[in-house]
Amino acid sequence: MIWKIICQNIPIGARRIWEIGCANGDMGLTLKQREGSQDCYIAGIEISKKLAEEAMTKLDMVFAADAETFDFGIFVDPFDTIIFGDSLEHMRDPSRLLDRLAPHLSNNGMLIASFPNARNLYLIDSLLHGDWCYTSWGLLDKTHYHLFTLKSMLTMLSQKMLVVEKWFYVTHPLQWFERMASPQTLNPVFVERYSTILSVMAEKNDPLPYLRKWFPGIDFKEEDTLQMVSAQIVVVARKQQETDKTLRG
């Protein structure tokens, strides 16, 4: 689902793409195989040497390196697209990394990032019950350095002169959480509430009365429901074009 959203939002006309945290290169290869994208140049960087070696067989250029210390200045020409596919949260200082990447993104270039949603009902329920258990993958992946909500992500990107054009919520079935945390550790209250919300939304009914009953005193809106059931979010942003200061009066 994440791949599909990312790929659908990268124009066929994109010709130079940086994938930060490219893993084994499968998503980049999918982009290159699209009709009309055969001439697209895709560079990737991956901290896992094993994954990087596999990606080298699929992408135009791959570096087995730490993105936070890598010298992006080796490329003279800017890139029109930068992808963070569930990788920003793994960075020690994502804000500084974005600062370093900004000069290498063309004016009006696109940055697209997917990330785990820290405002998910599972994490809210975990905090309310005093639980905070890291796992090998998922929302509390033990290799995550940062947690983001949609609001905090939008704030960080806006500080980098990146204008977010749209975002997408990605919801997973209860079985996804069971695989992530194991059924034995899921709080029965969360299981009941999450199942109820998904069922109500599937039937095209309004879930807001349930949220307001479970969390009295908070005036939830429709957007809040969408955020709280989403495990991941994808944002699509564009770099603001540099303004000619000489034209300012």
Stretch 184-204: mean pLDDT:
91
2-118+136-172+228-240: what fold?
Rossmann fold (3.40.50)
Stretch 157-167: mean pLDDT:
94
Domain-wise residue ranges, the chain: 2-118+136-172+228-240
pLDDT band at 226 (very low <50, low <70, confident <90, very high): very high
Sheet containing 105-116: give its strands across.
61-64, 41-46, 16-20, 79-85, 105-116, 230-239, 162-171
Stretch 69-84: mean pLDDT:
94
- The pLDDT assigned to 242 comes to 62
Give the tens place of pLDDT for each residue, 87-146: 999 999 999 999 999 999 999 999 999 999 999 999 999 999 898 989 999 999 999 999
Residue with the larger pLDDT of the pair 3 and 116: 116
The answer to whether 101 touches 174, Cβ cutoff 8 Å, is no
Q: Where are the beta strands (DSSP E) in 47-188?
A: 61-64, 79-85, 105-116, 162-171
pLDDT band at 245 (very low <50, low <70, confident <90, very high): very low
How far is Cα 160 from Cα 123, in angstroms, rounded to an integer?
Answer: 28
What is the pLDDT of the chain when averaged over all its residues? 92
- The pLDDT assigned to 38 comes to 82
Q: Which of 57-61, 136-140, 239-243 has the lowest mean pLDDT?
A: 239-243
Q: Which of 11-15, 29-33, 208-212, 238-242 has the lowest mean pLDDT?
A: 238-242
H or E element: which one contains 17? strand 16-20
